[in-house]
Amino acid sequence: MTKSPDSRAGSRIRGRTLLLNALSVALGIGLWWALAAAGFKLPTPPEVVSRAGTLISDGTLADDVLASLTRVLIGFVLGTAAAIPVGFLMGWYGIVRGLVEPWIQFFRTIPPLAIIPLAVVVMGIDETPKIFVIFLAPFLACVISTFQGVVNVDRTLINAARVLGAKDGRIFARVVVPASTPFILVGMRVGLGSAWATLVAAELIAAQEGLGYRMQNAQLYYDLPTIFVGLISIGILGLLMDRVLLLAERKLTGWQERR
């Protein structure tokens, strides 16, 4: 079957993007190697690969990845699930906005590291405070973007739906939710990045395994290759999860014009 011109153009764009991505990675590794060779206190790529091989062979890296990924996924899913309804309520009802928005803005200014002592005292030192600290990052990012999506819905569309006899529930489901979806997905992507950024701080709380824990432990012994393995692992996992969200965004917002 012959491909349409749009399909061929899309394939060319994707192919060019992948080529540029590969070139960017190669240049980044080359720059890293050059800096290490020039005397900067950096491990070389072969040293990092060797340490990664050791951590993979003894199962340490797999255990750390599983522990960190579990914490991030639970915190991210719970944070997003809580943020979307709160954001919708804030955007749709002025009373809710007035009551909730000051607290959202208040907690947005507090770094997760500052919440750790309170979380430990209130929740103990098991998995609960770790997940709670991670939960806050996607919740705060996604609630703001969802709220912004609702308040940015074109009032003409809402008024037109009312003229046609639609009730609030139908307007919400057929107009507000679709129009807000791009904002929600952007907030989820930002929140996912924040969740991974918060992971290292969360694993300060009496963790025995995890990428953040392993990096902090390696810092005590100036073990730079292990630190780099942790950084690269977090970066790769975050990138893969972001690509999944990006794919969902394209599927759910295919009606939008794109450059």
Give domain status of residue 74, yes or no.
Answer: yes
pLDDT tops 80 at residue 236? yes
The C-alpha atoms of residue 88 and residue 109 are separated, in whole angstroms, by 22
Domain range for 75: 44-252
Say what the pLDDT of residue 10 is.
60
Q: 20 vs 13, 24, 242, 256, CA distance in Å?
A: 10, 6, 18, 25
The mean pLDDT value for 104-122 works out to 84
Q: Among candidates 21, 146, 138, which has minimal Cα distance to 90?
A: 146
pLDDT averaged over every residue in the chain: 85
Q: 50 vs 47, 57, 215, 229, CA distance in Å?
A: 5, 11, 16, 10
The mean pLDDT value for 86-105 works out to 89
Report pLDDT digits (tens) over 42-74: 888 999 999 999 999 999 999 999 999 999 999
User: pTM here?
Assistant: 0.84
CATH of the domain at 117: 1.10.3720.10
Give domain status of residue 58, yes or no.
Answer: yes
Give domain status of residue 152, yes or no.
Answer: yes
Report pLDDT digits (tens) over 138-154: 999 999 999 998 888 87
The C-alpha atoms of residue 159 and residue 82 are separated, in whole angstroms, by 29
Give domain status of residue 17, yes or no.
Answer: no
Element (H, E) at 198: helix 177-202
Q: Among candidates 127, 180, 122, 123, which has minimal Cα distance to 149?
A: 180
Counting the structural domains of the chain, the total is 1
The residue to which tokens 């919440």 are assigned: 115
In degrees to the nearest 10, what's the CA dihedral of 197, 203, 208, 211? 10
- SS3 of 167, please? coil
Those residues with Cβ within 8 angstroms of residue 135's Cβ, 6 or more apart along the chain or in another chain = 74, 75, 78, 79, 82
Give domain status of residue 103, yes or no.
Answer: yes
The C-alpha atoms of residue 223 and residue 174 are separated, in whole angstroms, by 55
pLDDT tops 90 at residue 86? yes
